[in-house]
Chain A
Amino acid sequence: MLTKEVNDLLTQTTPGTPMGSMFRKYWIPALLASELPANDSAPVRVKLLGERLVAFRDSEGRYGLIDEFCAHRGVSLWFGRNEEGGLRCPYHGWKYDHTGQCIDVPSEAAESGFCQKIKLTGYPLVKIGDILWTHMGDKAERPPLPVWEFCTVPEEQTFTSKRWQECNWLQAMEGGIDSSHVSFLHSGSLKTDPLFRGAAGNKYNQQDRKPVFEVVDAPGGLFIGARRNAEDGQYYWRITPWVMPSFTMVPPRGDHPMHGHFWIPIDDENCWAWSFDYHPTRALSAEERQSMIDGYGVHNQYVPGTFRPLQNKDNDYLMDREAQRRGETYSGVWGIAMQDASLQESMGPIVDRTKENLVSTDNGIIMARNRLRRAVQALVKSGATPPGIDPAHQKVRSVAAVLPADAPFVEACREDLTVRPGVKQTSV
């Protein structure tokens, strides 16, 4: 359990909150690059960390993420005209460039220089991989650009999706750290999902449903190891890295692409679940890419034309009791992503952690919360740079490996847990 004070501290990310200030230290995913496909394409409304913004790509291909509302009388610039190097408010014609600087107020003489005095909040938007990243904090403290492997490999090796999740970011992220739910909630999908089935390591999961957990502190976050019995007294390890504030990677299976997530607050009661799949050394096959588009693995299907999952709380996630009875799904909800999301949303918009009863297998979550609390408090107290900003912290991989019984898994897999360009993932 957490006290109400710590629960509030970790879950609130709107401007001026301690956790909000911490999120504003990082480059975070803002939108898919495909949402702004061409110069002068339609502007997109974006809400992040409780701030309503609009993203656009101007005539010269410059990306901008600016305050959604016109400084004149507060009209949404989503209705604007994106043309001739800026976004023009359709009400009285005020125009803004990609930084939010007003560059035209038609009612005033250009020589008056009035428009120079008008500036909307603007954040940078940088394309790396399939994602447009933003940094919503102090410009003077802008960290180096993100170097996560999934978004720096060639584009034919990677696929990213995002979905709207209707709950606080922290309870969604905790699902990525909570390896102990996999043997239950996702037990049906291991056998059938095209992006999981067939790996040699799957037999260890099926033979030993009671993994033992070890959690090891790392400079950027944690390594969470789940071990199961393998042949000859050895252990089969599945190792999940968590990098602060909200990056996790699922341990790989066979030669399937590796996957993971980012959980980014939209506001305190909604978040974006970003899901990626990539292979460090080969292109994704057409079949794999199609499976991802079709919503298998960590991805999902959508209400057409939106980023809202097709299975959502308005249709009870298309609960299928027959499939649950047949054992095809454990909870009756289809697909790994929505199995997680449905349960996490059922906890309520912000779960009351004063009431939970954690057990010792929840230690990954306990440690992660404590690291977040410490980092936020150090930031507030002394401005300490939080873990996960240093590019070295971002160069992590998940691992699946069979190791001798007494090997400490982080030391034994030190290289395997690190990004090595041109070297395949360590997997069973």
Chain B
Amino acid sequence: MHDDDTPFRTPVPTFDRPTLLSSCAQATTAEEARFRVQYPNAAPRSSRIVALDDGAARMMDDIIAEPRPAAHFLKVAPRQPDISPNEVVLLRLDGDEALLSTELAGADVVVLIATSAQGRRAAEIIGRVARAASVTTAGLIVTADAADDVVRMMRPVTGVLVVSPDADHLAAMLSALRA
């Protein structure tokens, strides 16, 4: 009848378990929360935030005031000399050029931001090269109208996708991810 007919057994209460300081009853109190070990339990992450188009670049400019030492903010350069099918020329905040291959080395996560399908070529290359290098990718699409073509562009190249009309999710996402 079903794909698995193993009976689902509900628990039988037993009353012989003593409550100790480490039992859930005690351990989940605010009092015991004080004894959680305090230490930094994750090394800083290094992230690359890439604006794929002009609208995305403007959003990026709005949030870079906050210091994020482990993040590199990058824009796709307007001119893309034909170096290699696996290369994209990016611009750092100071206007210096940087190659995708250089930026991906040592990156933990790449966040791609798009407001249109303008950055299709760059998105395709970054997604493909990041996947080959096992670097996690996340995408943020910021647009008020139906985003079919942008979704089609971003879905194959990102591991998780967020679609919102509001630019302020970018800052929230970066802080939440410690980017």
Contact = CB atoms under 8 A, between A and B. Distances in A.
Interface of A: 1-3, 166-167, 189, 191-194, 197-198, 202-203, 212-217, 269, 294-296, 301, 310-311, 313-318, 320, 323, 328, 334-335, 342, 345-346, 348-350, 352, 355, 357-363, 366-367, 369-370, 373-374, 406, 408, 410-411
B10 A374 contact: no
A81 B54 CA distance: 70
10 contacts: A191-B3, A191-B6, A202-B3, A217-B169, A314-B23, A316-B25, A318-B14, A334-B11, A370-B169, A408-B163
B94 interface: no
Contact of A345 (B8, B19, B24): B24
Given A212-B159, A357-B41, A1 B169 contact: no
A374 B24 contact: no
B41 A360 contact: no
A348 to B, nearest CB: 4
Nearest to A365: B176
Nearest to B146: A411
A314 B25 contact: yes
Contacts of A334: 9-11
A214 B165 CA distance: 15
- At the interface, is chain B mostly helix, strand, loop or mixed? loop
Contacts of B23: 313-314, 316
Given A357-B41, A360-B138, A370-B168, A296 B8 contact: yes
B164 A367 contact: yes
B10 A301 contact: yes
B9 A348 contact: no
Contacts of A2: 176
Nearest to A412: B148
A352 B172 CA distance: 17
A328 B172 CA distance: 38
Given A294-B10, A334-B10, A408-B147, A346 B24 contact: yes
B7 interface: yes
Interface string B122-140: 0000000000000010100
Given A361-B159, A408-B151, 11 more contacts: A1-B175, A166-B28, A191-B6, A212-B160, A295-B10, A313-B28, A342-B24, A348-B29, A348-B36, A352-B36, A358-B178
Contact of A315 (B17, B165, B175): B17
Contacts of B10: 294-295, 301, 334-335
A374 to B, nearest CB: 7
Interface string B10-40: 1111110101000111011110110010000
Given A408-B148, A408-B151, A411-B148, A198 B3 contact: yes
Contacts of A408: 146-148, 151, 163
